[in-house]
Amino acid sequence: MRRRLNLLAEADWLAIFLFLVLIVFGWLNIYSVNYNESSTTFFTTSNRPAMQLAWIGISLVLALLIFVTDSRFFSFTAYPLYAFSLAVLLLVIIAGKEVNGSKSWIMIGPVGLQPAEFAKVTTILALARFLSGYNVKANSRKNIFFSFLIIALPPIFIMLQPDFGSTIVYGSLLIVLYREGLSGWLLLLILFMAGIFLASLVFSKFVVLLLLVLVSLLIYGVNSKNKKNTGYAIVILLAALVPSLLLQYLDFIKADSFIVLLIAVILATTTYIILALSKKLKGVVLMVVFLYAFIGFVYSVDFVFHNILQKHQRERVEIMLGLKSDPWGYEYNVNQSKIAIGSGGFTGRGFLQGPQTKLKYVPEQSTDFIFCTIGEEWGFLGSLAFVAVFIGLIIRLIIIAERQRSKFSRIYGYGVVSILFFHFAVNISMTLALFPVIGIPLPFISYGGSSLMSFTVMLFIMLKLDATRKAYLI
Amino acid sequence: MDQFAGRKYLIGAFILLIAVIIVFRLFYLQVYDSTYRLSAENNSRRVEIVYPARGLVFDRNGQLIVHNQPSYDLKIAPFELAPFDSVELCSILGIDIQTLRNGIHKVKTIDRERRNPFIKQLSPETFGRLKEQQYKFPGFYFSERTLRKYKLEIGAHLLGYVSEVDSSLIKADSYYELGDYYGASGIEKSYENYLRGEKGRRFRLIDVRGREQGAYKEGRYDTDAVRGKNITLTIDSDLQAFAEQLMQNYIGSVVAIEPSTGEILAFVSAPYYNPSLLIGRIREENFITLQKDSLEPLFNRTIMAMYPPGSTFKTVNGLIGLNEGVISPSTTFPCRMGYYAKGVSMKCHAHASPLNFVEAVQNSCNAYFAHTYKNIIDNNKYPTTEDAFNKWREYIVSFGFGNPTGIDIPSEKPGFIPKSSYYNRYYRKGYWKAHTIISNSIGQGEILTTPLQNANLAAIIANKGYYIVPHIVKNIEGIDTADLHNHDKHFVMVDSSFFKYVADGMDYAVNKPGGTALGSRLQNITICGKTGTAENPHGEDHSVFIAFAPKENPQIAISVYVEYGKWGASYAAPIASLLIEKYLTDTIAPNRKYIEQRMLTSKLTDKQ
């Protein structure tokens, strides 16, 4: 009994309070979406509020169970749990139930569960276990490789379902690696690649190549001590580029501007490498390799985009980037979502009062688009308060993570922070048309048992680790 | 402490930065920019479906058979209902006040936000009257559809009918939505994807109360309905109409095929019904009436009825015997008013004896083909009876029996050609031999074929050894005919040189004294025909006849079944000869008018 009392005293009640606020607020919004004035349709259309209430109950029981579990359990079982979740993901691909074109559900009786949601918890546990090993830091090549492997396996399986949204969530764990020592340059490189990916979809290859050349010149210029060498590089490039474009302009070369530029770049780099080697300049080869690697990357983006992404995902990205218009499908939904949120105004229409919500103009309004209801009925003030509570919880979790003595607990804490933050930011950004629609739920708010339970479990494992931080040094 | 602890500030700052961006965006959408608030009031959409007209159907000569007529559904938008004069509406619609109340209650429970059908397919008069008064009834709308209309009321079984989609079809095919129509049988079903066209969509702005506010984005995203593709049938509508007329008092079927192409010229299942009975509102009621009719007019006998083929099947056994070398054209067998052997007896009618192959076909001698069949099954070439039987069955299947022919009309039956395993089960393995199953020699016993398969047999004999899968659609607007059907020649396993003897026998059967169908002879055209009598345990036997004509360069192959018609020569043969005469000469010769008259006035539908 003493131990139990201590636990309660040591628990982070601020985080638990914020969690409860979110759960209650989420349920109110689900109730509102499914609320109908005419009582006849209340029972027939949906029992989602009742279902969600049951899920909340189960989640709270799970939270309690976690609190009475020995906290060493989580690090000891991290690998077996991880392996188990991979097996379940594989099972889903084979025997899952298909909903909206993706096989991501496992049916247990009448209840459907999405293993991809739970795999997030086990992946963070496994990553924390690995990185908390003796003298393991995320800055050696071997450790980075294994960390990436732990992070990448579940999304590869999830991609096969296919469930694009749940896949990219794992990318957020880069934050954990960064905190544990991943080179900032490597992070920038990854982000730069993502940027080039988008740029090569929006702009022509010519513009992207030009951009790449300029960026490599810039990096080279910043890094080289002698500014004269950068000058030489620019002069050689222009000497190759200007005549080529001129010839093309005058119709002497019948080729695409991109090809002309590519030839000019090849000429210029070859000349410059010869020149640089003779003068023993440093960093030139690295810069050229960097440049060519990205040219290759631009080509592969094309391939990924047209051969790996599904048609609806491609369309979403295209519409998001303004390359395509489709009001009936995707753009329409996002537009309706913007209208619903915008119509909330400063103070909102009030609980149960949103007509956009009532008329079901926005799809998936209990699940992925639940924020529309928040925006519409609670207005700017309500949305602001909601964002404040959510970000408050995340910042509180960072503080909790930082006060851990054990590395395992800290890394796990950052994993929770990364996943929660990514879900929050992407989900809200997509309803605000800041980001393409990828179907991921808003933690603690969206309708759905799997996501509620997995986020609750994820959070309470952290809070349990925190509550016993003084007891063990794992 | 660890060296990277400082990074927590960077991470925290990054999270706060994103939060600030989100808050700014919220402020912009909810407070700064008022357009979204305004558009919420009136910027919602409704999609209206524009239904395309189904494709038209023509006969092989370009004669229009099926087209479309407009029809109007009355719909209710529950949100827009306002008090109106219900007595007036009821009197226009011809319904009582309770029906109106129930209807309104019902549409409200389906979906309050959409226009839901209240009364489907208003009559043109009702539509006209209500259209004038529509302004008095807010919330009531019309939606235009098209229904089938039959310029020629023929070919009900081959055309099929159009019906409203049910929930299982909507689940199976995402194209369909509640309230759509689809082809439920006949070519309407098998060519549904061509005939249905493509639905169009109109995006409408509506306000929160569901009132229309104009086109969404100036109609930029509206799509037009694309009408269905027109279809040309292989059917000759004159021949079809004449065949239906001839069959009006009988139960049975007529299938006529152009042998060189496999194109079906006439396709009658009798009794038939007027296809106009199954259009629109009256369909359901008429369908039930037709379903209850004891003569089963909805049953498509041409491809679904399976009869013993009777004596027409002797041609096939003869050809197999010739090809296997167990008989030759000059082989003769005696017939003493039948075939009598140990434990077997099979009667035959009076004719000269002995007969050679051609004479046996001409006279339809049971004994001759019993001998032939015995030779086929007891052939020493094969180690066991079962092997010989399997070989025989292989031959039969190559003639298109025992399997659906693959005609482009749904629900075709395969017929039945027993396998050796069937007899093994029935008699025990090794305990049956030729005499056990001798009935197969004359097309009785266990064998069952469809009228279509028998017409195909006539086409095979006309082609001297091959057939092209029978089909009823000649071409579809904008579709390459080669993609539509398989026009390959399916060769049977019998060498083409043997067919001339069967053709001669069929020629003599119609045109030489002693022939079984002498009464159906034409003056200037050589018809080759074979009579048959399909045993009927429920009453008088069925009259069967297959034929093709002219003998040289055949233009038409035909099979006619008349149930309860007893002999092939009594009904089936005269009807076939009239149809051949009509098709090849466009008229019935004066000296044969009496046959036409007799066929038109006799009646066998009460024999059942």
Picking from A44, A131, A328, A346 by the largest number of B CB atoms within 10 A of its own CB, the best residue to mutate is A328
Residues in A closer than 8 angstroms to B217, CB to CB, are 327
In this prediction, residues B344-363 reach a mean pLDDT of 84
8 Å CB contact of A380 and B27? yes
Name the least confident of B139-143, B252-256, B471-475, B509-513.
B139-143
CA distance A178 to chain B (A): 8
Given A355, A380, A391, which is nearest B30 (Cβ)? Answer: A380
Looking at residue B516, its pLDDT comes to 82
Looking at residue B62, its pLDDT comes to 92
Confidence band (pLDDT; 50, 70, 90) for A461?
very high
Q: What are the E-state strand segments in A81-238?
A: 97-99, 102-108, 111-113
Domain B42-56+160-231 has CATH 3.90.1310.10: yes
- Is A271:A236 a contact under the CB 8 Å cutoff? yes
In this prediction, residues A413-430 reach a mean pLDDT of 94
CA distance A272 to chain B (A): 39
In this prediction, residues B118-134 reach a mean pLDDT of 84
CA distance A22 to chain B (A): 17
Residues A299 and A332 in one domain: no
Residues A147 and A226 in one domain: no
Looking at residue B544, its pLDDT comes to 92
User: Helices in B218-342 by DSSP H: which ranges?
Assistant: 237-246, 283-292, 301-304, 314-324
Residues in B closer than 8 angstroms to A395, CB to CB, are 12, 15-16
Q: Which is higher by pLDDT, A309 or B355? A: B355
CA distance A141 to chain B (A): 17
Closest residue by Cα to residue B528 from B503, B545, B553: B503
**Percent of chain B residues past pLDDT 70, beyond the cut:** 94
Q: Which is higher by pLDDT, B499 or B123? A: B499
- CA–CA dist A373, A357 (Å, integer): 6
| A474 in a structural domain | no
Picking from B11, B33, B202 by the largest number of A CB atoms within 10 A of its own CB, the best residue to mutate is B11
Looking at residue B213, its pLDDT comes to 65
Quickly count: other Cβ atoms within 10 Å of residue A352's Cβ. Answer: 16
Please determine, for residue B214, whether its predicted confidence score (pLDDT) is greater than 80.
Answer: no
Please determine, for residue A436, whether its predicted confidence score (pLDDT) is greater than 80.
Answer: no
Confidence band (pLDDT; 50, 70, 90) for B196?
very high
H/E element holding B359?
Answer: helix B357-363
8 Å CB contact of A387 and B4? no
Please determine, for residue A398, whether its predicted confidence score (pLDDT) is greater than 80.
Answer: yes
Given B22, B29, B39, which is nearest A387 (Cβ)? Answer: B22
Q: What are the E-state strand segments in B127-219?
A: 140-150, 162-164, 181-183, 200-206, 212-215
Q: What is the DSSP letter of B150?
A: E
Picking from A100, A134, A136, A341 by the largest number of B CB atoms within 10 A of its own CB, the best residue to mutate is A341
CA distance A398 to chain B (A): 8
Which of B509-544 are b and which e, b meaning 16 or more Cβ less than 10 Å from the residue's Cβ? bbbbeebbbeebbbeeebbbbbbbbbeeeeeebbbb
Please determine, for residue B39, whether its predicted confidence score (pLDDT) is greater than 70.
Answer: no
Tokens linked to A43: 């029972």
- Is B69:B147 a contact under the CB 8 Å cutoff? yes
Name the least confident of A72-86, A210-224, B389-403, B577-591.
A210-224
Q: Is the peptide bond before A162 cis (omega within 30 degrees of 0)?
A: yes
Looking at residue A321, its pLDDT comes to 57
Residues in B closer than 8 angstroms to A414, CB to CB, are 11
Confidence band (pLDDT; 50, 70, 90) for A423?
very high
Q: Say how far residue B60 (Cα) sits from the centre of its chain.
A: 17
Q: Could you list the residue range(s) of the whole structural domain that residue A153 is in? A: 2-195+314-467
Please determine, for residue A139, whether its predicted confidence score (pLDDT) is greater than 90.
Answer: no
Residues A191 and A214 in one domain: no
Given A41, A180, A343, which is nearest B37 (Cβ)? Answer: A343
Q: Which is higher by pLDDT, B374 or B336? A: B374
Residues in A closer than 8 angstroms to B30, CB to CB, are 341-342, 344-346, 375, 379-380, 383
* Closest residue on chain B to A428 (Cα): B22
| CATH class of the B237-607 domain in this structure | alpha beta
Given A179, A339, A414, which is nearest B39 (Cβ)? Answer: A339
| Overall domain count for chain A | 2
Confidence band (pLDDT; 50, 70, 90) for A101?
low
Please determine, for residue A324, whether its predicted confidence score (pLDDT) is greater than 70.
Answer: no
In this prediction, residues B536-544 reach a mean pLDDT of 85
Burial label for B606, CB within 10 Å (0-12, 13-18, 19+), is exposed
Helix axes B385-398, B314-324, angle to 10 degrees: 120
Please determine, for residue B339, whether its predicted confidence score (pLDDT) is greater than 80.
Answer: yes
Last residue in a domain, options A276, A309, A342 = A309
8 Å CB contact of A179 and B4? yes
Please determine, for residue A45, whether its predicted confidence score (pLDDT) is greater than 50.
Answer: no
Last residue in a domain, options A239, A274, A309 = A309
Residues A393 and A418 in one domain: yes
| A118 in a structural domain | yes
Residues A51 and A78 in one domain: yes
Would an 8 Å CB–CB cutoff place A179 in contact with chain B?
A: yes
3-state helix, strand, coil in chain A (%, to 5): 75, 5, 25
Please determine, for residue A360, whether its predicted confidence score (pLDDT) is greater than 60.
Answer: no
Q: Which of A67-71, A165-169, B479-483 has the highest mean pLDDT?
A: A67-71
8 Å CB contact of A387 and B19? yes
Residues A275 and A211 in one domain: yes
Three-state helix/strand/coil letters over B296-309: CCCCCHHHHCCECC
For the entire predicted model, the pTM comes to: 0.59
Q: Tell me: the pLDDT tens digits for A210-234?
A: 888 887 777 777 766 667 777 777 8
| A472 in a structural domain | no
CA distance B158 to chain A (A): 38
- Is B276:B284 a contact under the CB 8 Å cutoff? no
- Is B147:B121 a contact under the CB 8 Å cutoff? yes
8 Å CB contact of A179 and B43? no
Would an 8 Å CB–CB cutoff place A160 in contact with chain B?
A: no
| A299 in a structural domain | yes
- CA–CA dist B565, B535 (Å, integer): 11
In this prediction, residues A326-352 reach a mean pLDDT of 73
Looking at residue A322, its pLDDT comes to 53
Residues A88 and A207 in one domain: no
Residues in B closer than 8 angstroms to A432, CB to CB, are 22, 25-26, 29
Residues A119 and A225 in one domain: no
Please determine, for residue A346, whether its predicted confidence score (pLDDT) is greater than 90.
Answer: no
| A473 in a structural domain | no
Residues A185 and A220 in one domain: no
Closest residue by Cα to residue A458 from A447, A444, A471, A448: A444
Q: Tell me: the pLDDT tens digits for B228-283?
A: 999 999 999 999 999 999 999 999 999 999 999 999 999 999 899 999 999 888 88
- Is A425:A169 a contact under the CB 8 Å cutoff? no
Q: What is the mean pLDDT of chain A?
A: 80
8 Å CB contact of B30 and A383? yes
Name the least confident of A205-214, B230-239, B571-580.
A205-214
* Closest residue on chain B to A183 (Cα): B4
Residues A173 and A39 in one domain: yes
Please determine, for residue A397, whether its predicted confidence score (pLDDT) is greater than 90.
Answer: yes
- CA–CA dist B489, B44 (Å, integer): 59
8 Å CB contact of A384 and B23? yes
Q: Quick one: how many helices (H) and strands (E) in chain A?
A: 21, 3
Residues A346 and A279 in one domain: no
Q: Pairing relation of β-strands B231-233 and B57-58? A: parallel
Please determine, for residue B502, whether its predicted confidence score (pLDDT) is greater than 60.
Answer: yes
Would an 8 Å CB–CB cutoff place A345 in contact with chain B?
A: yes
Confidence band (pLDDT; 50, 70, 90) for B498?
very high
Query: CA dihedral in degrees (B56, B60, B65, B68; nearest 10)?
Result: 10
Name the least confident of A72-76, A201-205, B220-224.
A201-205
Residues in B closer than 8 angstroms to A384, CB to CB, are 23, 26
Looking at residue A133, its pLDDT comes to 83
Distances (CA, A) of B171 to B162, B165, B353: 19, 10, 66
| A33 in a structural domain | yes
8 Å CB contact of B109 and A356? no
Looking at residue B206, its pLDDT comes to 65
ipTM above 0.95, yes or no: no
Given A38, A332, A398, which is nearest B11 (Cβ)? Answer: A398
Looking at residue A354, its pLDDT comes to 62
CA distance A319 to chain B (A): 15
Confidence band (pLDDT; 50, 70, 90) for B368?
very high
* Closest residue on chain A to B203 (Cα): A328
Looking at residue B577, its pLDDT comes to 94
Q: What is the mean pLDDT of chain B?
A: 87
Would an 8 Å CB–CB cutoff place A339 in contact with chain B?
A: yes
In sequence order, the β-bridge partners of residue B547 are: B529, B558
Last residue in a domain, options A309, A337, A353 = A309
8 Å CB contact of A395 and B4? no
Looking at residue A474, its pLDDT comes to 45
Closest residue by Cα to residue A216 from A200, A234, A202, A198: A234
Looking at residue B179, its pLDDT comes to 76
Q: How many CB pairs under 8 A join A and B?
A: 112
In this prediction, residues B398-413 reach a mean pLDDT of 93
Angle at B530 between CA B527 and CA B531, to 5 degrees: 125
Name the least confident of A265-279, A348-362, B43-57, B417-431.
A348-362
Residues A15 and A123 in one domain: yes
Please determine, for residue B555, whether its predicted confidence score (pLDDT) is greater than 50.
Answer: yes
In this prediction, residues B144-165 reach a mean pLDDT of 91
In this prediction, residues A366-388 reach a mean pLDDT of 90
